[in-house]
Structure 1
């Protein structure tokens, strides 16, 4: 291409001229698939009998694409695709590394299991009003959040899954759902406003929103830029999204109101996106600022752990108790962020995998128990062991997993976090991790004794719904929990790989700017 009065332009310096390989398309497949499937479901929204089947097929395709993507990253390093063929930082990049791809895979697995459970939980009315299109749109936002390499597009994908989550939250239009959705919307709007403000300030400082570009430039602007202010803004914004203390009050006010399968999706996945954003932005982009704020983050982590589980102990409704346990699990994950060491971050990442699976299983367990006993109340639900011994086995396993006891998955990430805390000379933080595990045992043990072990008085229990889908989905999740507990090394290896990618961003940066073409 020639311009009058100038030399021929070299487009290779501004644009990607070579066609991407077929394998590179894997980085956008987890986003494209749910958008297409969601559009198809929306077009056939009146065909309620096929909604669940189409959604399950779509989520299975997402799962396969995530497995292939993670496999490619483990083999060849981070995968990048830049939209519009413009070279970064001008083009908007999807950048998948071990952390983002592994979390996207875990979230898709949870969503697939929840979709199977929804066959019994979502009736004709819920299908007609869009449960499955909302689910697919939410998963597009979730995958986009985990895989984007651009801060502003992280904000955009946050908005995508938040909009769809509003639809899922009010599905049924009951008074308590509308009340919970109002609190959820207002408080998330505050968090979103903080996020957008921080993003605008970030762009004003760096002139770019590409994460790799920011990581390169941060060292050069640190002396004259308010990076500590930026780090605090992002901590507050993402802390609210993750439901960390003291900005966690929105979660227990809303997560007990929707259908139980929706609560399982929210508790298992949505708070973990806030955690992921904290790890990605604070650790990779602002490492020195994270070190300065580590003491504050440590106290926030401890308060989130302990106050969350104390809130669970005070509840008489199983769903409310689980909401507080979700908060407590976020506190455990924040311990690694506070420590900033490879072992601590690996423990947090492993704990995130564990928490996503176990949280979904706990909510589905609660839904199955309600179907067998007719209530979520600890005052009225009882005698499940005598009538349904299988449910007692699932409950015991998940109680051990949540408390961090063998042979379940929660043991190993807690060991990593405790060891990392002791190595850093933070014995009090290790004690907080162990104390939260003990109190979790008490909180879930109380639920187990009252609902399952306590003898039922009055008329015999009558099944309200068939437990088949509950048993099947809990069985699949139980296999994952036991596998990670008995054979944790593959998961530890992935978590350590992801932690190294956060602490040393060179592979991530080189994937975005190959051949030393850093700006």
Structure 2
């Protein structure tokens, strides 16, 4: 019964997308189908995580075609954990958008296509997490990117139309690099099944193997927004509607990080490019947070912190130890939740005060104390204040860096500590200006109170972020187990390939 559940996180959102597209003139029914579909996806994801934790990876051979010939979907502990978190986040963001009241996405957006597109985006994310071969991973990326192209320009405002092409061009370029790499991988090995590639890539000449590895890293690095290929993100994300920006910030870059984790551990173990990844991680952290502290717009500030904290995850991957990988996995879960929450809070601030420009904000702690709490908790979590999960994740990564020894990991430890301090400075600056300072001007038409569903969805994510702290012990155990399996590779290979497959 359990293997039959593996395709459902992809199939259920796609079926929901088809139904909501057919029911384009029935918005209430659209909303109900979307919510039920994502709730079902979350429930299935939890079952898959429990099964993967207890009994190892859960595999389904699509159409009954055995690997490496057929398409393989595999839910190991890493994929299942990210499925749970991404499903919870997409459900909360959907509820937030429903509560927003202005057709979920903006004043002039075509309502009928929002729910189908959002569900297609979700299916793309889940397909990428479950993909057992590189081409299906590429398909997952293309599904979510095609949906994101629609969502980022939804509403047709001037700023969205102006910044949308940048987002599209950069991501199409990364997809072209990825597709070219797939062709080269297949030409060199005769397969794209990741379990089979794990053996065949080792037999290639060192230069060929390194070239393929760097091409895949470049493609995934653009999608993950690591420095120096991250400049597109702060210009693209802030212009989208609040729910769209939130789900983009929480999930889309993490799919790129997931692809880096999967390929670097399964296909290219041994840390051949560890030094390069450490340099990239350090620059991503520092350059990103320096960009954040210079911003006055809340959404742009959060976009730069998003880029900066991707560096922590790449740091853990570069260490390639169990401790480093476990810290990276824990931090991915933490960051998906907290970064999404902060963008939802930015949407609430815009709803309440009419702007996200810090120069036009002030006094929110007095007029909206609940909103102040909703900002303060995830902001301190992102900054890594004890005992929040952000502190625990950073501590695990920094300890792994110290244990690795050497000059470059030590520099990364210092960069991580500096980034955490500057994140605290950026969060404190927002708090002082937007919440404590007396307002410089009133919002043109401030609402009497914020929509209950928007506040409720944001509160649920804040509580979820706090729950990660309370459940840090079990979450770290799952992260360590997942990291151990990634390092060993054997559980994944045995689950996918028949014995004796070359």
1:294 Cα deviation after fit: 0.8
Please give the alpha-carbon distance, in whole angstroms, between the structure 2 residues aligned to 1:406 and 1:464: 35
* Aligned residue in 2 for 1:303: 283
1:57 aligns with 2:39: no
* TM-score, normalising length: structure 2: 0.96
Partner of 1:472: 456
For residue 467 of structure 1, report the CA deviation from its aligned partner. 4.1
Matched, 1:344 2:320: no
Kept after mapping to 2: 8 A contact 1:392/1:452 = yes
* Counterpart-to-counterpart distance in 1, 2:448 and 2:256: 36
> Who is 1:505 aligned against?
489
Aligned residues of 2:324 and 2:400 also touching (Cα < 8 A): yes
1:450 paired residue number = 433
Kindly provide the CA deviation profile for residues 276-325 of structure 1, in whole angstroms up to 9, marking residues without a partner as x: 0000012211013xx22111110100110111111111111111111111
Residue 327 (1) aligns with residue 307 (2): yes
Alpha-carbon separation, structure 2, partners of 1:354 and 1:459: 35
Q: Is the CA contact 1:368–1:467 (under 8 Å) kept in the aligned structure 2?
A: no
Report the counterpart of residue 157 of structure 1 in structure 2.
140
Distance 2:449 2:97 in 1: 13
Q: Which residue of 1 aligns with 2:153?
A: 170
Conserved? CA contact 2:360–2:441, under 8 Å: no
Counterpart CA distance in 1 for 2:207 and 2:501 is: 21
DSSP-derived class of the 1:251 partner: helix
> In the TM superposition, what is the alpha-carbon distance from 1:433 to its structure 2 partner?
0.9
Q: Secondary structure at the match of 2:60?
A: strand
Q: Does 1:490 align with 2:490?
A: no
Deviation per residue, 1:127-178 (Å, 9 max, x gap): 6241110010001100000001010111011100000111111110111111
1:236 equivalenced with 2:218 (yes/no): yes
Q: 2:368 aligns with which of 380, 388, 397?
A: 388
Q: Is the 8 A contact 1:51 1:127 kept in 2?
A: no
Shift of 1:120: 2.7
Q: Shift of the alpha carbon at 1:457?
A: 4.1
Alpha-carbon separation, structure 2, partners of 1:225 and 1:87:
32
Q: CA RMSD in A?
A: 1.5
1:71-111 deviation digits (Å, cap 9, x = unpaired): 11111111111123222111111111111111111111100
CA shift, 1:239, in A, is: 0.3
The CA deviation at 1:444 is: 1.3
Partner of residue 41 from structure 1, selected from 20, 34, 41: 20
Measured in 2, the distance between the counterparts of 1:71 and 1:224 equals 39
Is the Cα–Cα contact under 8 Å of residues 360 and 440 in structure 2 kept in the other structure?
A: no
Report the more deviating stretch, 352-361 or 443-452.
Answer: 443-452
Report if the CA contact (8 A) 2:223-2:256 is conserved. Answer: yes
Q: Distance in 2 between matches of 1:158 and 1:436?
A: 30
Farther off after superposition, 130-139 or 221-230: 221-230
Offset of 1:273 from its aligned partner? Answer: 0.2
CA distance 1:139–1:458, change in 2 (3 Å): closer
Scaled by the length of structure 1, the TM-score of the pair is 0.93
Paired positions, count: 494
Kept after mapping to 1: 8 A contact 2:131/2:137: yes
> For residues 496 and 224 of structure 1, do their structure 2 counterparts lie closer, same or farther at Cα, with a shift above 3 Å needed?
closer
- Using the TM superposition, give the Cα deviation of residue 53 of structure 1 relative to its aligned residue in structure 2, in angstroms: 2.1
> Counterparts in 2 of 1:1-12, with a 5 A limit?
none
* Counterpart residue number, 1:202: 185
1:368 corresponds to 2:352:
no
Residue 509 of structure 1 deviates from its aligned partner by: 0.5
2:295 to 300, 309, 315: 315
Q: Could you tell me how far apart the structure 1 residues matched to 2:119 and 2:385 are? A: 35
- After TM superposition, the structure 1 stretch with the greater mean CA deviation from structure 2, 334-343 or 78-87, is 78-87
| Runs of at least 5 residues in structure 1 that lack an aligned partner in the other structure | 1-21
Q: Who is 1:6 aligned against?
A: none
The DSSP-based 3-state class of the residue aligned with 1:256 is helix
Specify the structure having the higher radius of gyration (Cα).
1
Contact 2:380 2:427 in 1 (8 A): no
Indicate yes or no: 2:422 matched with 1:439: yes
- The equivalences for 1:259-278 within 5 A come to 259-278=241-260
Separation of aligned partners in 1, 2:92 and 2:125: 16
User: Hey, what does 2:198 align to over in structure 1?
Assistant: 215
Q: Does 1:408 align with 2:388?
A: yes
Residue 239 of structure 2 is matched in structure 1 by 257
Distance 1:179 1:144 in 2: 30
485-494 or 125-134, which deviates more: 125-134
Q: In 2, Cα distance between the equivalents of 1:239 and 1:345?
A: 17
CA distance in 2, matches of 1:129, 1:346: 41
Q: Is the 8 A contact 2:389 2:465 kept in 1?
A: yes
The 2-side partners of 1:224 and 1:302 are apart by: 26
Question: Is the contact made by 1:371 and 1:464 (CA closer than 8 Å) also made in structure 2?
Answer: no
Report which stretch shifted further, 486-495 or 107-116: 486-495
Q: 229, 245, 263: which one pairs with 1:247?
A: 229
- Equivalent residue for 1:422, pick from 402, 426, 429: 402
CA distance in 1 between counterparts of 2:159 and 2:441 reads 30
User: 1:28-49: per-residue Cα shift (whole Å, max 9, x none)?
Assistant: 0100000001100000011122
Question: 1:176 and 1:365 mapped to 2: Cα distance?
Answer: 21
Q: Is the 8 A contact 2:361 2:441 kept in 1?
A: no
CA distance in 1, matches of 2:290, 2:447: 32
